[in-house]
Structure 1
Amino acid sequence: MEKGYFFTGFPGFICNQLIREVWKKNQLQGEVFVLVLPNMFEKANQVKNEIITELGVNESAFTIVEGDITKKGLLQHVNEQEQLSKRVTHVFHLAAIYDLAVPRDIAYKVNVTGTNNVNEWVKNLPKVQRYTYFSTAYVVGVREGTLYETELIRPPRFKNYYEETKYEAEVLVEKLKKEVPITIIRPGIVKGHSHTGETIKFDGPYFIMNFLDRLKFLPIIPRMGKGEGFVNLVPIDYIIQATAYLSFFEQGAGKTYHLTDPTPYRTSELYEMIMKELLNKKPKGIIPLNLGKWLLSMKPMRKFLGVEKEALDYFTWKGRFDCTQAQNDLKDSGISCPDFKDGIRPMAKFYLQHKNNPNYQVTIL
């Protein structure tokens, strides 16, 4: 049976990279369907053309479907449902609000209501072989210690509404495992490609780069807090390759995977590596974290430094993600998470080339 791959989250960076990898893995066989908001059609069509030109596939094998995950039934044109029901065998749900500073109502509408609508849609696909859902390793909230792939435990609290709504969404997907073959992907904090440094926006670890770049005029640059927490950074290429493999891995149905770095660095180590690569300096002194949070509570300071205040919560968090299940199931694939320090040079180079391009910078509120 010919495969049909249905994606939400297009033309987003992770989604368009995953489409390329899924098609390559399947020898360019099968049809791709992407759900796109009507106001994103032009951009989606541009990225579609880039992909089909790059891979040399027929344009008829790539279909843009207009719709919205926050609407029941998803599709803007309901007459397309019959065609999709006959052809879709694999669903990849990536659409979500990823902003740490997102308000709860927006996050809930997209991440929870949207995922529930996708779940209901998937249940009515007669030929579905796998439903791959993109969650996040940070559904653990403020829980610390060793955190396992086999757990989905509501924490005492969450660091932000992004974490909370992704947890609520994963609960809904977990329940559906009884009815549909599902693979849940929990990435760590995604950074640029380990070889090229390419990324779509400067968030996560790039907030450190913004901070250092905008304070480079100072003779001495301190570190922010003691930096004892572990920050789990994973390059986009590892996430894409591992997801494409595990989504078709027969034993992957019903499993949840931490696509995280098995040997992450402490915040202090990351800060030092990034400063060395960007500025060829070492940090001196410490700004107490409480002072840092107070400074970032002021909008002009946040905008000047290019840092969301919510990012500081990850500097002191002491959780460690166990990714044994992912490593075991990937062992015959040749896919493993690269060491952060091996990708720091292309990461910094890409940042320096594009730091003044507003399309890469996150809007700081």
Structure 2
Amino acid sequence: MEKGFFFTGFPGFICNQLIREVLKRNKFNSTVYVLVLPNMVEKAKQESAAIISEFGLEPSSFNIIIGDITKPLLAITPEKQEILQRNLTHVFHLAAIYDLAVPRDIAQKINVNGTENVNEWVKDLTNLERYIYFSTAYVVGNREGTLYETELIEPNGFKNHYEETKYHAEVLVDKLKTEVPVTIIRPGIVKGHSHTGETIKFDGPYFIMNFLDRLKFLPLIPRLGKGEAYVNLVPIDYIIQATTYLSQLDKAAGKTYHLTDPNPYRASEIYEIMMQEMLNKQPKGMIPLSLGKLFLSFKPMRKYLGVEKEALDYFTWKGHFDCTQAVTDLKDSGITCPDFKDGIKPMAAFYLNQKDNPSFQINIL
């Protein structure tokens, strides 16, 4: 049977890379449908043309559907709805606001209300084999200690509105498991490709690179706090390979997976590894994290350093993601999470090559 793959979040980087991986495994018996906001159609056309050319596809096998997850029935026309209802076998819901500093109302509208609309929509797909939802490992909020894939426990607080709304969205998807074959993906903090370093924007771990690059003129660069917390970084290639495999693995239906590094590094180690690779230096002295947060309370300082204040919360959070279920179910695929150290050279090289390109730097508010 021909597969019909539907994606929200196109033409975003994770989504377009995931589509490429899905096509590698299903090129000859699949049709791709992507949901695209009206103001993103031109960019989507460019990205779809690149994918069609790269894989030698028939243009009819890659379809741009104009819509909006924040609207009922995703604002898809009745004619398109009929086609999708009949042809879709796999739905990948990636569309979300991935921003630690996102205002609550925007995060609620897109991450929670949007996901609720997608949930209702997938219920009517007659040939659905799998609904794959992209959550985040950080739905755990302020909970610490060992955190399991089989848990979905509301914490007593969240570090930001992104975490909070992704938690509430996942609760909605988790409830669907009794009605729809659902697989929930919880990535760690996503970084660029482990071999090429390619990414689409410099956030997350790249805030550290921004910090180091802006202060490289100093004779001595201090570390930020003690850095004892583990920071779970995972390359995009691991995320897309694992997700593609699990999306078509029968026993993955009804499960939630931590796509996290089973052997993460401490914040202080990541800081030192990055500084050594970028500047050939080691940190000297220490700025207390409380002082760092104070500096970043001032917008001019945040913008100059290229760091969101909210990012520092992950330097002190002491949680450990158990990913036994993911490692076990990926065992036969040969897909494993690369070691962070093994990918630092391409990561730093890509950053240094593109750091002055404004399209890669996010708008620090």
Q: Normalised by the shorter chain, which TM-score bucket?
A: over 0.9
Q: What is the alpha-carbon distance in structure 1 between the residues aligned to residue 258 and residue 335 of structure 2?
A: 14
Q: Secondary structure at the match of 1:227?
A: coil
Q: Which amino acid aligns with 2:249?
A: F
- 1:226 and 2:226 correspond: yes
Q: Which amino acid aligns with 1:292?
A: G
Structure 1 residue 76, shift from structure 2 partner: 3.8
Q: What is the alpha-carbon distance in structure 1 between the residues aligned to residue 83 and residue 146 of structure 2?
A: 45
- 1:175 and 2:175 correspond: yes
1:13 maps to which residue?
A: 13
Q: What is the alpha-carbon distance in structure 1 between the residues aligned to residue 197 and residue 115 of structure 2?
A: 30
1:40 maps to which residue?
A: 40
Alignment of 1:230-245 (within 5 A): 230-245=230-245
Q: What is the alpha-carbon distance in structure 2 between the residues aligned to residue 81 and residue 95 of structure 1?
A: 19
2:210 maps to which residue?
A: 210
| Corresponding residue pairs, total | 365
1:120 maps to which residue?
A: 120
Q: What is the alpha-carbon distance in structure 2 between the residues aligned to residue 29 and residue 198 of structure 1?
A: 29
Q: What is the alpha-carbon distance in structure 1 between the residues aligned to residue 241 and residue 200 of structure 2?
A: 18
Query: Does structure 2 conserve the Cα–Cα contact (< 8 Å) formed by 1:273 and 1:341?
Result: yes
1:329 maps to which residue?
A: 329
**What CA deviation, in whole Å up to 9, does each residue of 1:126-164 have, x standing for no partner?**
110000000000000010000000000000100000000
Q: Give the alignment's TM-score, normalised by structure 1.
A: 0.99
Structure 1 residue 26, shift from structure 2 partner: 1.7
Structure 1 residue 80, shift from structure 2 partner: 1.0
2:83 maps to which residue?
A: 83
2:150 maps to which residue?
A: 150
Q: Which moved more, 1:69-78 or 1:58-67?
A: 69-78
Alignment of 1:282-321 (within 5 A): 282-321=282-321
Question: RMSD value over aligned CA atoms?
Answer: 0.6
- 1:364 and 2:335 correspond: no
Structure 1 residue 257, shift from structure 2 partner: 0.2
Structure 1 residue 343, shift from structure 2 partner: 0.2
**What CA deviation, in whole Å up to 9, does each residue of 1:214-252 have, x standing for no partner?**
000000000000000000000000000000000000100
1:62 maps to which residue?
A: 62
Q: Secondary structure at the match of 1:258?
A: strand
Q: What is the alpha-carbon distance in structure 2 between the residues aligned to residue 104 and residue 268 of structure 1?
A: 31
1:281 maps to which residue?
A: 281
Distance 1:21 1:28, change over 3 A: farther
Alignment of 1:189-204 (within 5 A): 189-204=189-204
Q: What is the alpha-carbon distance in structure 1 between the residues aligned to residue 78 and residue 109 of structure 2?
A: 22
Structure 1 residue 327, shift from structure 2 partner: 0.2
Q: Give the alignment's TM-score, normalised by structure 2.
A: 0.99
- 1:250 and 2:250 correspond: yes
- Structure 2: give runs of 5+ residues left out of the alignment: none
Instruction: Report runs of 4+ in structure 1 exceeding 6 Å deviation.
Output: none
**What CA deviation, in whole Å up to 9, does each residue of 1:319-339 have, x standing for no partner?**
000000000000000100000
- 1:353 and 2:353 correspond: yes
Percentage of matched positions with identical amino acids: 75
Query: Does structure 2 conserve the Cα–Cα contact (< 8 Å) formed by 1:67 and 1:76?
Result: yes
**What CA deviation, in whole Å up to 9, does each residue of 1:54-98 have, x standing for no partner?**
011111000000000000110342221111111001000000000
Query: Does structure 2 conserve the Cα–Cα contact (< 8 Å) formed by 1:86 and 1:126?
Result: yes
Q: Which amino acid aligns with 1:266?
A: R
Q: What is the alpha-carbon distance in structure 2 between the residues aligned to residue 218 and residue 277 of structure 1?
A: 17
**What CA deviation, in whole Å up to 9, does each residue of 1:23-55 have, x standing for no partner?**
111243210000000110000000000001001
Q: Secondary structure at the match of 1:6?
A: strand
Q: Which amino acid aligns with 2:361?
A: Q
Q: Secondary structure at the match of 1:11?
A: coil
Q: Which amino acid aligns with 1:138?
A: Y
Q: What is the alpha-carbon distance in structure 1 between the residues aligned to residue 361 and residue 120 of structure 2?
A: 35
Q: What is the alpha-carbon distance in structure 2 between the residues aligned to residue 210 and residue 29 of structure 1?
A: 43
- Structure 1: give runs of 5+ residues left out of the alignment: none
1:92 maps to which residue?
A: 92
Q: Secondary structure at the match of 1:45?
A: helix
1:344 maps to which residue?
A: 344
Q: Secondary structure at the match of 2:338?
A: coil
